[in-house]
Structure 1
Amino acid sequence: MATVQKTTASSKTQGPTWNGAVPAAATAVVKRIEGFFSAPYDDNGALPGGTWTIGYGSIVDTNGHPVSPATPPITEAEAEKWLRRDMEGAARDVKLRVKVALLECEAAALISWTYGRGKKLTA
């Protein structure tokens, strides 16, 4: 029978403990996966019914309105600002839901996953 060893973030030696900020690795992963799009696009590709996104996968503009085909194009600098805003929201969601200490690399994975799920994430 296999033995399961309980570990905590403080007992792990794979990296620093997460301090609550968005790890650079999380942002890098999202930027690589989402790619930059200056104009709105339906993230469902050729099939209708997807979520309209812009920049690095943002689904709301600076005024909190959902991205739509009528959303004006944005610059990459604007997209990065929106991404920071959205990643901070994802980090807050992770911090609220995860009740154990995390390593920074674990938090980066959860934050990037949470960002990718969008507002569809539930407890």
Structure 2
Amino acid sequence: MSKIRFEPHGKTADVRDGVTILSAARAAKVMLPSKCGGRGACTTCKVQIKSDVPLSALSRMEKHMLSDRMVADGFRLGCQCKVTGDAEVTIPEDPLRRTIRLQLEAARREKEERDQEQ
């Protein structure tokens, strides 16, 4: 059994070695999108591995779908990467949600500045 910690959610799952990160996320009740049904064709389940434990070797689909830079930065496809030991996984923020969050934060700051001026 291995422990997989999911950030920024702060949830941990105990899973058998050999299961995918996507399956581990589901076991931890962590939302990790997967539009292609786990076939490695969409990259929506992309995660960043934040531990030194080597996980399974890159799959053929990962080599095809992820750039060399992404691989060097620790990114893997959750549906392809298999657990081989304890690891910490960061789920990147959805780009659309990030844009909305940044806009809301900017509007909140502007409102606070206006309120302070009054």
Question: What range describes the TM-score normalised by the shorter chain of this pair?
Answer: under 0.3
Task: Please identify which structure carries the higher strand content.
Answer: 2
Task: Please identify which structure carries the higher helix content.
Answer: 1
TM-score, with length taken from structure 2: 0.26
